[in-house]
Amino acid sequence: MSKIKNGNDYYQRIVDWIKKQEKGIVFRPTQVSKALSLDIGMVSVFLYRKNKKGYLDKKGAGKYVVVDCNAPIPLQIPKGKLPDLIFNLLRDLNLKFPKGYVREPMIVEKLKDQRISLNSVHNVMQRWFEGGYLISNNKIGKGYRIKDGHLNLKERPPVIIKK
């Protein structure tokens, strides 16, 4: 199957394929996979997620209907961009409010045009917290600040992935 050059390559190809279809057409992930020479797993996951967001309608076992071929379908944020967005926003808010703590929903609200989930923000911030880059104002993590030693970093700290 195809090699992915960047995180959005196959997403963009699937979106383009969907936009070429007429409203009400029924299709299966295998049709998209064959037409675009993509892995069936990637196509299925994409269609499942877009079905949950209302761009497609699921009709029976593995069949989808295009609800609106002209509806804007947001693309996946490229790998590494989400932590950069979160860190830059968190740093700016920490500098603006030196004594305050930033809550995760505040970051989601500031990045609402990017359609970022609270769970995604929580995962990134929790990894930084566990890595020692953030401090929390209570034990249940209601708000975070970048530790003073890391506040003036030009680049975000690495996102530590547990193994």
Q: Whole-angstrom Cα distance, residue 80 to residue 88?
A: 13
Q: Does residue 145 carry a pLDDT above 70?
A: yes
| pLDDT tens readout for residues 27-63 | 899 999 999 999 888 888 888 877 656 678 888 778 8
pLDDT score recorded for residue 160: 63
Tell me which of 23-32, 90-99, 102-111, 148-157 is least confident. Answer: 148-157
Domains in the chain, CATH or no CATH each? 9-66 (1.10.10.10), 81-150 (1.10.10.10)
Q: Whole-angstrom Cα distance, residue 141 to residue 129?
A: 9
Q: Whole-angstrom Cα distance, residue 109 to residue 32?
A: 34
Query: pTM for this structure?
Result: 0.53
Kindly list the distances between the CA atom of residue 156 and the CA atoms of 86, 120, 134, in Å, as whole numbers in the listed order.
Answer: 9, 16, 12
Q: Could you say which DSSP state residue 76 is in?
A: P
**Residue at 68: amino acid letter:** D
Nearest in space to 43 (alpha carbons), one of 58, 64, 29, 26: 29
pLDDT score recorded for residue 71: 64
Mean of all residue pLDDT scores within the chain: 78
Q: Does residue 3 carry a pLDDT above 70?
A: no
Terminal-to-terminal C-alpha distance of the chain = 29
